[in-house]
Structure 1
Amino acid sequence: MRNIGNAVFTGRPAARVALLTHSTSPRGGHVHTLGLGEALHRAGESVHLFALGTQLYREVDLPHTLVPGPRREGTTLTERTLDGIERLATALAARITEFDVLHAQDCIAARAALIARERTGAAVSVLRTAHHVDDFTTPVLVDCQRRAITEPDRVLVVSRMWRDILARDFGVGATVVPNGVDLARFASVVPAERTGGFLLLAVGGIEPRKGSVHLIRALARLEDPAPELVVVGGHSFQDFAPYREAALAEAAELGVRVREVGTVSDAELAGWYAAAAGDGALVYPSTAEGFGLVPIEAMALGVPVVASDLPVFREHLTDGVDALLPPVGDDEALAAALRRVITEPALRDSLRTAGHTTAARFTWADAAEAHRAIYAELARTPAL
């Protein structure tokens, strides 16, 4: 028996598990998959990652197989989705007898797992973690997402809000297993170079769900000197180029400085967190999230957080205690919260202290132990 963090493992693998993800970019679902997979692997579990892509965004302590993803140029989102499902399903079908549980982390991976099982007739269970539900509009994608939620043998979510949404909208009972933070990912930190002044760090790119336009309009309301806004990330399966271009054009018209860094390594992300932990803050005014892993990462590294008053954030954040949570989509309220965090050093100190306590509640070791029990249950009663 071994103690891993706060969890206790018996040393005997609960099941042979394939972790499935549609991407290799550092988006929330993929970051979750790697963190969970590494915690399971280090604890002696039999786990193997399958991901669509040519290179993982960071080195991992996890056995893995990369499946070349669909071509982006000249294709629609529908075409890329269906192509990704087929590619991953084909790769899984060839090795499906090696596993007891196929654990999918997204719509594409779940459909691929279900198709691979149907084609082979393998006695394997399909588990789905639904991080959030996308607002697809095309019939093919809407149907794909629905089936990826309703057809797996069991469904997990990372928050109570999404558990309630899946029950209400899909008639599916889901189990909540929260995310975790692995500070070892950020062990080697060299603060990123900045231009001076107060640093506002936004992680996730410029896209509708991240509330980017609201942030730009809020910044335009602040008095001089305006803070430096650095935007990290931006790679997505969907194409948000029109939204991004319109947002940047509006920023230029309003005189808001936006510095896009793009997709970065874990070491570079740690550097930006370190820079914001000094004279800065994380700003995360999302309009929808599955859990909100970025604020927890930032809190763990001593960065004050301004997010938005989403129900999913209120499950683990308290306005005015460990974060500032202005109403969703309220530019004026967001500006007021930013003004406070910029001008009140004592507030930043209190947010850092409380935020560190909040982040400490979320570990991958605890998440791994919860998953391990679920894997064991599914392995005992495989779908036929």
Structure 2
Amino acid sequence: MTEHLRLPPVALITYSTRPRGGVAHTLALGEAMHALGQDVLIIGLGDPGKGFFRPVAAPTHVVTAPVTTGGLEEKVAANIDALEAALADLAPAYPILHTQDCIAARAAARVRDAGIPSRVVRTVHHVDDFDSEILMDCQRQAILEPDQILVVTKIWQDILREDYGVLADVVPNGVDPARYSRHSPEVVARLRARVGATDRPLLLSVGGIEPRKGSDTLVAALSRLVGERTPPPVLAVLGGHSFQDHRAYREKVLASLDALGLTLGKDVVELGTVPEDEMAAWYAAADVLAFPSVKEGFGLAALEAMAAGLPVVTSDIPVFREWLVPGRDALLTPVGDAGALADALSAVLDDEALRARLRTAGLSLADRYTWTASARRHLELYAGSPEALTAH
């Protein structure tokens, strides 16, 4: 597979070691490339003593994340500087620098522009809406400076072409179906008991409480379900680590619970970051994934849920219509429509035949999106550039 391409070593670089979508993408892609025989190094910013949030079946290198006391602008600048310094030493051995975010892309471009003959590849998962002009400019440069741009869905290919004049190649996300099919009934029962769902339906939310995940719409929908259903469902919220500070939004959502007739710890249970080896069991423990995102690059949690056989209710946004068939693979509801979201969640909870159809379709779809296929496509695209074919 890779022998005839004669690809030099590839460094896959991400801004964190925590369990966020882009980081999970980087680890899984690096592992799949490594399994195919490609020489890779996965680089992240974090605590070298702790490493990445899960064991990684590929070589890794963790760069010490700088400690800052200022705002997001200072944090971004410091992280770019830290990655640049590390890449200046590492890049000569890794001629292909595949970056997964703005911070890594800016750092890699600086190293290349300083004279190290590296090809900078960037995967744009999505484009953030920053309040800061400095950060918006940083994000723009991180799209314009790389030598090669990849995206995970066609909608983002269109956006980058229209808004930035950049031509990108599409390589979808992947999933390891075997990983999400392994779980213990005893662990599943214990997880449901942990959130008080032994005798209540369990809704699962992945990604924490933040604007992009539509958390305000989700708790409004939950309020209606709790008021109408016996027994009422419980919402378990996993994750929440983000480079951006969403504390004000989170506090606003949590402050709304009382007026919505919801109790934190009873109806809404925040779990934060859970051990990675628990994720398959959480998907198995839940009755439905509630994923009303406002914006996604791909929506990896939805694909993971399907690989675990968990029905999905998500938002009717272009990125999901690109790889999901509404009503067959998942139920899609209008963004911000809490009533429609509540109706869709109720339909999944009440209709056993619907659950079975969604489960079967989801499993079939997950089998078509593998990390091995994604890794092969990445290697083909690297090799499509003359610089990538340098004999090694």
TM range (shorter): over 0.9
Checking the alignment, whether the CA contact within 8 Å between 2:96 and 2:388 is kept in structure 1 is no
Measured in 2, the distance between the counterparts of 1:177 and 1:12 equals 18
More moved, 198-207 vs 74-83:
74-83
Checking the alignment, whether the CA contact within 8 Å between 2:22 and 2:100 is kept in structure 1 is yes
| Alignment-derived partner of residue 365 in structure 1 | 372
| Alignment-derived partner of residue 45 in structure 2 | 52
Matches within 5 A, 1:119-198: 119=114, 121-186=115-180, 188-190=182-184, 191=188, 192-194=191-193, 195=196, 196=198, 197-198=200-201
Measured in 2, the distance between the counterparts of 1:224 and 1:12 equals 58
Measured in 1, the distance between the counterparts of 2:37 and 2:5 equals 7
Measured in 1, the distance between the counterparts of 2:257 and 2:280 equals 27
1:106 and 2:123 equivalent? no
| Alignment-derived partner of residue 20 in structure 1 | 13
Checking the alignment, whether the CA contact within 8 Å between 2:192 and 2:202 is kept in structure 1 is no
| Alignment-derived partner of residue 324 in structure 1 | 331
Measured in 1, the distance between the counterparts of 2:336 and 2:283 equals 24
Checking the alignment, whether the CA contact within 8 Å between 2:180 and 2:304 is kept in structure 1 is no
Measured in 2, the distance between the counterparts of 1:118 and 1:149 equals 15
Checking the alignment, whether the CA contact within 8 Å between 2:311 and 2:359 is kept in structure 1 is yes
Checking the alignment, whether the CA contact within 8 Å between 1:125 and 1:378 is kept in structure 2 is no
SS of 1:221 mapped into structure 2: helix
Provide Cα deviations, 1:66-88, integer angstroms capped at 9, x if missing partner. 0111325x321111100000000
1:202 and 2:205 equivalent? yes
More moved, 174-183 vs 12-21:
12-21
Gaps of 5+ in 2: none
Checking the alignment, whether the CA contact within 8 Å between 1:231 and 1:262 is kept in structure 2 is yes
| Alignment-derived partner of residue 67 in structure 1 | 63
* TM-score normalized by the length of structure 1: 0.93
Relative distance call for 1:37 and 1:381 in structure 2 (3 A) is closer
1:304 CA drift (Å)? 0.5
Matches within 5 A, 1:340-355: 340-355=347-362
1:118 CA drift (Å)? 1.9
Q: Following TM superposition, where does structure 1 have runs of at least 4 consecutive aligned residues deviating by more than 6 angstroms?
A: none
| Alignment-derived partner of residue 5 in structure 1 | none
Amino acid at match of 1:264: V
Relative distance call for 1:247 and 1:281 in structure 2 (3 A) is same
SS of 1:25 mapped into structure 2: coil
More moved, 259-268 vs 32-41:
259-268
Match of 2:242 among 236, 239, 245: 236
| Alignment-derived partner of residue 34 in structure 2 | 41
| Alignment-derived partner of residue 259 in structure 2 | 253
Measured in 2, the distance between the counterparts of 1:248 and 1:11 equals 55
Provide Cα deviations, 1:318-374, integer angstroms capped at 9, x if missing partner. 111111001111111111111111211111111101111111110011111111112
Checking the alignment, whether the CA contact within 8 Å between 1:157 and 1:176 is kept in structure 2 is yes
1:338 and 2:345 equivalent? yes
Matches within 5 A, 1:261-300: 261-276=271-286, 280-300=287-307
Measured in 2, the distance between the counterparts of 1:134 and 1:75 equals 20
Checking the alignment, whether the CA contact within 8 Å between 2:2 and 2:38 is kept in structure 1 is no
Q: How many residues align?
A: 371
* TM-score normalized by the length of structure 2: 0.91
Provide Cα deviations, 1:11-40, integer angstroms capped at 9, x if missing partner. 875221111100111111111100100000
| Alignment-derived partner of residue 322 in structure 2 | 315
More moved, 249-258 vs 202-211:
249-258
Match of 1:302 among 302, 309, 329: 309
Match of 1:224 among 226, 229, 233: 229
- % identity of equivalent residues: 51
Measured in 1, the distance between the counterparts of 2:88 and 2:344 equals 51
| Alignment-derived partner of residue 4 in structure 1 | none
Measured in 2, the distance between the counterparts of 1:143 and 1:264 equals 34
Measured in 1, the distance between the counterparts of 2:36 and 2:4 equals 7
Checking the alignment, whether the CA contact within 8 Å between 1:114 and 1:152 is kept in structure 2 is yes
Provide Cα deviations, 1:255-303, integer angstroms capped at 9, x if missing partner. 2211011101221111111102xxx100100000000111111001100
Relative distance call for 1:379 and 1:67 in structure 2 (3 A) is farther
1:245 CA drift (Å)? 1.0
| Alignment-derived partner of residue 78 in structure 1 | 73
Checking the alignment, whether the CA contact within 8 Å between 1:123 and 1:382 is kept in structure 2 is no
Match of 2:87 among 92, 100, 110: 92
More moved, 179-188 vs 228-237:
179-188
Checking the alignment, whether the CA contact within 8 Å between 1:12 and 1:45 is kept in structure 2 is no
Amino acid at match of 2:44: A
More moved, 12-21 vs 32-41:
12-21
Amino acid at match of 1:250: S
Amino acid at match of 1:53: G
Relative distance call for 1:11 and 1:273 in structure 2 (3 A) is farther
1:9 CA drift (Å)? 4.5
Amino acid at match of 2:112: R
Amino acid at match of 1:30: V
Amino acid at match of 1:201: L
